Amino acid sequence: MHLALAAGYVLKTKAEGWKLFCERLHVPPFVLMEFLPGFDRLEQALTRAEKVAFVAEGFLRWLNRIRPEGEPEVTDLPLTAERVAAESEGIFRKQADKWSGVN
């Protein structure tokens, strides 16, 4: 059960991060994905994740419960919407530079 809650948190957080990234670019988040095969399954999974997912604090507690013995306690969430958005922006900027011939 906890693994399902963790997976729900990860899916929700990645989707929220993607939406934040797209919002900063002023583009609709799923406009290009809507026509791809499996998009309906993604929507269904996101709907389920709204009901079956850890909240941030619960995810952090779970990470600490499953951490290997001797490893330090996790004090900062490794996965947040803000981090996903920032990483997506970094990837986008790097690719845009590549396409423009900067690098």
- What would the pLDDT profile of 9-61 be if each residue is shown by its tens digit? 999 999 999 999 999 999 999 998 999 999 999 999 999 999 999 999 999 99
Question: Tokens standing for 78?
Answer: 């490794």
- What would the pLDDT profile of 1-15 be if each residue is shown by its tens digit? 999 999 999 999 999
> Which residue, chain included where needed, has tokens 């803000």?
82
The amino acid at 100: S
Question: Tokens standing for 93?
Answer: 């900027």
Task: Tell me the domain boundaries of the chain.
Answer: 2-100
Q: Assign 21 to helix, strand or coil.
A: helix
Output the CA angle 37-83-34, nearest 5 degrees.
15
* pTM (predicted TM-score): 0.88
End-to-end Cα separation, the chain, in angstroms: 46
